[in-house]
């Protein structure tokens, strides 16, 4: 598991995830990485099937508002409810949220 990091534009400080080639705000191509360690669950979706994935098991994904204020979509480990605080990390490049205790 790695740290969940968000791209921050070096010239206008706008957060972006996933990374875009140009900043959508100012067009800059220079980014800094900023850690987004936690977030609040805003929306949960159960994904029952994924096209082209044979061994897919039903799993939750959630829209999470990170501590930086930007909303991202993450995979969820374990049970989750809207309003829960989750710890964010990266698993093989995929953002994962886990309920904090
Ligand atoms: Zn920018």
Q: How far is the CA of 34 from the centre of ligand 1 (A)?
A: 14
DSSP at 29: -
48-85: pLDDT as tens digits = 887 888 887 888 999 999 999 999 999 998 889 999 99
Pick from 100, 62, 88: nearest CA to 1: 88
Indicate the pTM of the whole model. 0.84
Q: How high is the mean pLDDT of the chain?
A: 93
Question: What's the pLDDT band for 39 if we cut at 50, 70, 90?
Answer: very high
Contacts of 72 (CB under 8 A, 6+ apart): 6, 17, 36, 39, 63, 64, 66, 95
Given a cut of 80, whether residue 29 has pLDDT beyond it is yes
Contacts of 27 (CB under 8 A, 6+ apart): none
Q: How far is the CA of 33 from the centre of ligand 1 (A)?
A: 13
We report the CATH number of the domain holding residue 11 as 2.40.50.840
Q: Which structural domain range is residue 30 located in?
A: 2-99
Q: What is the number of domains present in the chain?
A: 1
Average pLDDT over residues 32-60: 90
Q: How far is the CA of 16 from the centre of ligand 1 (A)?
A: 9
Q: How far is the CA of 48 from the centre of ligand 1 (A)?
A: 37
pLDDT (0 to 100) of residue 53 = 81
Q: How far is the CA of 46 from the centre of ligand 1 (A)?
A: 34
| Contact (Cβ atoms closer than 8 angstroms) between residue 36 and residue 6 | yes
């Amino acid at each position: 598991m790695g740290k969940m990091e968000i791209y921050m534009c070096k010239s206008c400080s706008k957060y972006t995830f996933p990374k875009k080639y140009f900043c959508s705000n100012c067009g800059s191509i220079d980014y800094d990485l900023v850690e987004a360690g936690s977030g609040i669950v805003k929306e949960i979706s159960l994904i029952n099937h994924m096209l082209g994935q044979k061994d897919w098991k039903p799993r939750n994904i959630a829209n999470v508002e990170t501590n930086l204020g930007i909303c991202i979509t993450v995979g969820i480990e374990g049970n989750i409810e809207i309003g829960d605080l989750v710890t964010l990390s990266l698993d093989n490049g995929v953002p994962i949220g886990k309920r904090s205790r």
